Copies of this chain bind each other. A is one copy, B any other.
Amino acid sequence: MTKPPARAEHPRYTELREYVRKTSLLEGMSRLLSWDQEVYMPPAAYPMRSDQTAVIVGLVHERHTSPRLGELIQQCLADTELTGDPAIAANLRELKRDYDLATKLPGDLVEELAKTTTLAQQAWKSARERSDFASFAPMLEKVLTLTGRKADCLGVPAGGERYDALLDLYEPEMRASQVEATFTPLRRSLTTLLEEVRASGTKVSTKCLDVEIEPDRQHALGLWVIRQMGFDLDAGRLDTTTHPFCDGFGPGDTRLTTRYRESRFTDALYGTLHEMGHGLYEQGLPKATHPGQPLAEAVSLGIHESQSRMWENFVGRSKSFWKWLLPKSRKHVGKALSKYDAKDFFAATNTIRPSFIRVEADEGTYNMHVMIRFEIERALFSGSMTVKQIPKEWNDRYHAYLGLKVPDAARGCLQDVHWSAGLIGYFPTYTLGNLYAAQFWEKVNQDIPDLSAQVAKGDFAQLKAWLVKNIHRHGRRFRAAELCTRVTGAPLSAEPLLRHLRKKAAQVYGLK
């Protein structure tokens, strides 16, 4: 065995770590500015905040692209004593990846993208209000041209297509062809499942979801639930915003937000569980020991999403979860829920019904929404589809995959902000997250055979420890594909998610 290198003896690596740590402190500030903007900032402060953000983003960008950083990375990579340590080697590999990506994009392109997407988001908002795709199309053309230039600057990754240059930003090393190879069987099997659900004729009551609960009580319940699940509220918070999110600013500071609808308490409950899943990942990353380093960062958006979806859907929509929560809920929400039992809530929170809006979709149909977006944006990027064709292509697919007739563009291809924001290649990570979650979930249930009984008792400690040990603590040491194989023994596949959805449908709709 080789002795691990004494890191203090490597002044270059020490300098590199210190450099990266300082950058991450500035990034944490930038994130705090944006958190504050969403949560507490008075509206009149917008112009100043936008200037502040530009200043701090500029400082961070300077540090991400400075020649000194490039030199330090090169010098460390040339030092075999450093690269002989697998953890350090992984850290350097990822630092180099980030540096290469950051330095590939010319400043004027970054600036033009920022300006254009700001305008495009405004155009999108007003087009959505009027359900008028034609008025948005020219801005979308511009965004696609610029993201195309961005892809060209980044370069087509080995064995990939132009679209992959963007996908790689969110899901490193993932290729559109691999996504397609996983999504196609998923789509086919989901189509069958949806037909079976429809054919079953079973009507599931969702009356139990209509119980009214005041926002304050929902908040108290949410705080209690996430505390039980292991979210450290001494190192985090839960606030209210229009659009729920989770952000980690650095060691000891992970903040969640949610929103409360009095007439549907499960909206906030599942929203909170979702964000808490992200939050547990952030809290599980070794940020205190590797501040700002890739070893303390999330692998990919897909893996991040797997953590949120696991707590939201695999834990939160299980019968065990409701068995635990219902009697405990009294302390926070009174007798509001006591007319119903765990079976009612299990069925009601697992209904499958095709709908138009992705963010309101159920677990069974959600991935169809994502796959439609993936197919369209990939086709736009390969040149096999034009912007003008989007509405028809969109509506045709909603009809084919979900049996729906899209009534207008607002409930169709204008519903999501992503494209106007230049986020091409982002959508597939939502479904990748569901797929990773399902595959991890099968494995954790093998490793902890009585997990379901533990959940029914409100004991989440072993589950959390498993996630930290197998996923969180590694940071970006392994890429997503390798992590998946290391953890589950197999490459990513659609089967675990399909088994999970079929099993639930069997219970709720009496399918075989």
Contact = CB atoms under 8 A, between A and B. Distances in A.
Contacts of A252: 42-48
Contact of A48 (B22, B48, B237, B249): B249
A41 interface: yes
A469 to B, nearest CB: 21
B56 A253 contact: no
A288 to B, nearest CB: 8
Contact of A42 (B42, B43, B45, B234): B234
Interface in A386-433: none
A42 to B, nearest CB: 5
Nearest to A22: B55
B28 A56 contact: no
Nearest to A21: B51
A42 B233 contact: yes
A13 to B, nearest CB: 20
Interface stretch (A32-40, A347-355, A436-444, A493-501): A32-40
Contacts of A52: 25, 28-29, 250
Contacts of A234: 42-44
A42 B251 contact: no
Contacts of A237: 40, 42
A46 to B, nearest CB: 7
Contacts of A28: 48, 52
A440 B438 CA distance: 71
Give the number of copies in the complex. 2
State which size class the interface on A falls in. Answer: 35 or more
Given A36-B32, A46-B252, A48-B250, A26 B55 contact: yes
Nearest to A237: B42
B26 A235 contact: no
A49 B52 CA distance: 18
A56 B60 CA distance: 12
Contacts of A40: 40, 237, 239
A40 B255 CA distance: 10
A236 interface: yes
A69 to B, nearest CB: 16
A180 interface: no
A235 B25 contact: no
Q: Which 4 A-B pairs have the closest CB atoms?
A: A44-B252, A44-B235, A45-B253, A45-B252
11 contacts: A21-B51, A25-B52, A28-B48, A28-B52, A32-B36, A41-B253, A42-B235, A44-B251, A45-B253, A47-B288, A48-B249
